[in-house]
């Protein structure tokens, strides 16, 4: 008989894992956020929630609807905050946010897409403030497979491999790097692609990944003025496109130069910056990926940042996890095969754990 670890992808098993991770109890109210691509998962989740004596409600959207809103709704209405849903959060115990479709919307200009995100930002910030737990669940749908140019079976295989990694191992690795980072002041990252970046992380809270499926990282908000040097991103993804060998130069924490081999790719990044606000170009995050079931980036940060032996940095928002940056942008970049030194001691060498 095959175990879950050997079985093919199954939304019923994914729903079991989701409900178990949340520890749903009788009387709770769970808010599911998803796209119509996940109707089978929604049904599986809703049944299990009710079977535990809890209740569910749904925030449902579709790509055609998002595209129509993005193209046709008057601009002043795009960034309106749904105050009624903000009030609903008082009654919610948890949110299950299903990641089942790409973040880009065809033909919708980036500034309008950013405006549309205002309601999501308002909801997650309010949920965090009210202590409503938010669990992010990656669902390998046909829409995501198409966006990442992978056969659906291959995307599901990679996802299941990440989900079914030994949880005890993941927990130990996360906690190990959490403790290491808590005792570290200076971080130095190099890579075969040319990365040579220094950060400072002392006196900042260090977090482990407890609210995503799959999971596997430890992360911290570096001091915002501390990033200096060059980060070379083997495979960057923004605006729905793959950009290889993307280079970010930091000085006193801020990106002072960003370039790609193709002028069109550099222009795409400049458009992201132009459509973003606040501390959009300031260092925001340092993360250590510890999931050995994730091997290579596909373009979805829910998987990519978990790659075992990788590091990721981000620019933009970090005030929700111990930093000072406020922005409508949080852009992650994964650095592959890094060598990482904590206060001069090698903890990762060419992508292999040494600590």
- The pLDDT tens digits for 95-128 are 999 999 988 888 999 899 989 999 999 999 999 9
Integer Cα distance of 328 and 281 in angstroms? 11
Residue 136 lies in a domain: yes
Task: Say yes or no: 122 and 270 in one domain.
Answer: no
User: What pLDDT is recorded for position 100?
Assistant: 95
Task: State whether the Cα torsion 341-346-352-355 is positive or negative.
Answer: negative
Same domain, 269 and 281: yes
Are 213 and 298 found together in one domain? yes
Do 146 and 209 lie in a common domain?
no
On whether both 245 and 348 belong to a single domain, the answer is yes
User: Backbone phi, then psi, for 22, in 5-degree steps?
Assistant: -75, -25
Of 147, 163, 179, the domain-final residue = 163
Beta pairing, strands 29-35 & 94-99: parallel
> Is residue 266 in a domain?
yes
Provide the token pair at 314. Answer: 């981000």
Q: What is the pLDDT of residue 106?
A: 86
273 and 153 together in one domain: no
Low-confidence ranges of the chain (pLDDT < 70): 1-7
pTM: 0.92
At 294 the pLDDT is 94
Domain-ending residue, one of 117, 139, 163: 163
Q: Which domain-ending residue is among 131, 163, 195?
A: 163
Number of domains making up the chain: 2
C-alpha 328/C-alpha 324 separation (Å) is 13
At 33 the pLDDT is 98
Range of the domain at 128: 11-163
CATH number, residue 127: 3.40.1830.10
Residues 225 and 133 in one domain: no
**Co-location of 255 and 326 in the same domain:** yes
Residue 2, in any domain of the structure: no
308 in the same domain as 205: yes
Residue 177 and residue 35 share a domain: no
Q: Tell me, yes or no, whether 84 lies in a domain.
A: yes
Same-domain check for residues 130 and 220? no
Cβ-contact 336, 310 below 8 angstroms: yes
Specify if 4 maps to a domain.
no
Would you say residue 5 lies in a domain? no
Measured CA to CA, the distance from residue 76 to residue 9 in angstroms comes to: 42
In a domain, 103, yes or no: yes
Contacts of 255 (CB under 8 A, 6+ apart): 248, 249, 281, 282, 315
Residue 342 lies in a domain: yes
155 in the same domain as 193: no
Q: How many CB atoms are located within 10 Å of the residue 316 CB?
A: 25
Please confirm whether the linkage preceding 321 is cis (ω < 30° from 0).
no
């Amino acid at each position: 008989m095959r175990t879950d670890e050997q079985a093919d992808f199954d939304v019923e098993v994914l729903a079991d894992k989701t409900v178990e991770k949340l520890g749903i109890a009788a009387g709770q109210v769970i808010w599911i956020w998803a796209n119509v691509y996940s109707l089978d998962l929604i049904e599986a989740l809703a049944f299990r929630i009710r079977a535990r004596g809890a209740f569910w409600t749904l925030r449902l959207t579709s790509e055609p609807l998002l595209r129509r809103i993005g193209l046709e709704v008057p601009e002043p209405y795009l960034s309106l905050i749904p105050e009624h849903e903000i009030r609903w959060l008082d009654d919610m115990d948890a949110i299950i946010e299903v990641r089942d479709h790409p973040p880009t919307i065809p033909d919708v200009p980036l500034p309008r897409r950013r405006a549309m995100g205002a309601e999501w930002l308002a909801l997650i910030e309010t949920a965090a403030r009210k202590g409503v737990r938010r669990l992010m669940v990656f669902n390998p749908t046909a829409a995501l497979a198409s966006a990442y140019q992978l056969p659906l079976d291959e995307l599901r295989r990679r996802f299941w491999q990440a989900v079914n990694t030994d949880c005890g191992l993941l927990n130990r690795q996360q906690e190990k790097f959490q403790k290491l980072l808590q005792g570290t002041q200076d971080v130095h990252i190099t890579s075969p692609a040319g990365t040579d970046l220094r950060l400072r992380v002392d006196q900042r809270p260090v977090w482990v990944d407890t609210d995503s499926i799959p999971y596997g990282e430890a992360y911290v908000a570096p001091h915002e003025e501390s990033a200096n040097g060059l980060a070379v991103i083997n495979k960057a993804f923004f605006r729905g496109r793959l950009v290889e060998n993307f280079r970010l130069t930091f000085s006193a924490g801020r990106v002072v130069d960003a370039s790609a081999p193709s002028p069109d790719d550099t222009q795409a990044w400049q458009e992201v910056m132009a459509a973003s606000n606040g501390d959009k170009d300031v260092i925001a995050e340092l993360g250590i990926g510890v999931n050995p079931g994730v091997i290579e980036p596909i373009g979805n940060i829910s998987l990519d940042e978990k790659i075992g032996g990788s590091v990721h940095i981000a620019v933009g928002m970090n005030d929700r996890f111990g930093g000072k940056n406020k922005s409508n942008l949080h852009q992650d970049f994964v650095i592959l095969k890094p060598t990482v030194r904590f206060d001069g001691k090698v903890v990762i060498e060419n992508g292999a754990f040494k600590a």
